[in-house]
Amino acid sequence: MKLFPAIDIKNGQCVRLRQGSFRDVLVYSDVPYKVAKEWETNGASYIHVVDLDGALAGHSVNEEAIKNIVSNVSIPIQLGGGIRSIKDIENILSLGISRVIIGTKAAVDPGFMKEVISLFGPERIIAGIDAKDGIVAVEGWERLSGYNAVNLALEMKNMGVETIVYTDIAKDGMLQGPNVQYTLEMVEATGLNIIASGGISSLKDLELLNESKVYGAIIGKALYESKIDLKQAIEMFEK
């Protein structure tokens, strides 16, 4: 199981939201690239970055902070948040980002995924499915779409998607454990590389996800609050 330490960027700062609410923000660092360097030093093999302002605005907002992260670490980075066109993808990849996560656009226009996977390849394009009680949320989690998360994942599979970041919004930033049941359902129903996100608070949580045969797990607040030691977790689950 691959571990992805998370860096969420808002107003150029490294922050965490609770349950995806832009009204409940905690700032952890004014210098996101220093956080990225710390995760790299602790053995991270990949970093997960989200442009929160971008997710809400529908276009890249924190490009300067993203560039600084790319130029200060040598490990690959996946980025999500406001990427909704071919031009956006080209721009993000040109910054040195290894792969992009398409969320809202994937939910509202699944055919777009087929097009971009044929252009860039499934190794550069990930679908981001953010859900609450199994229902997909879009536009920076501000609106529920009515789509069933597993059904959307199966549709993504038909479009050529191989990897999905699956976030349980109700769990995100709460440190109350991930939604293992929904995640397991996603793994079993799709057979895709599922990266679990939301609520991971302990090594025990990672153990449960590992047993669910997920491809990877994104760890955010638990690292910032020292609930999980990244180096130890990598030794246990990645190596």
Under 8 Å between Cβ of 19 and 35: no
Q: Which of 8, 168, 172, 205 is catalytic?
A: 8
Residue 130 designated active-site: yes
DSSP, collapsed to helix, strand or coil, labels residue 101 as strand
DSSP, collapsed to helix, strand or coil, labels residue 205 as helix
Q: Which of 130, 168, 172, 205 is catalytic?
A: 130
Q: What is the DSSP letter of 85?
A: S
Q: What is the largest CA-CA distance in the chain?
A: 41
Q: Are strands 13-18 and 21-29 parallel, antiparallel or unpaired?
A: antiparallel
How far is it, in rounded angstroms, from Cα 21 to Cα 70? Answer: 27
How far is it, in rounded angstroms, from Cα 234 to Cα 95? Answer: 27
How far is it, in rounded angstroms, from Cα 223 to Cα 132? Answer: 23
Tokens representing 42 are 């602790």
Residue 8 designated active-site: yes
How far is it, in rounded angstroms, from Cα 199 to Cα 145? Answer: 22
Residues designated as active site: 8, 130
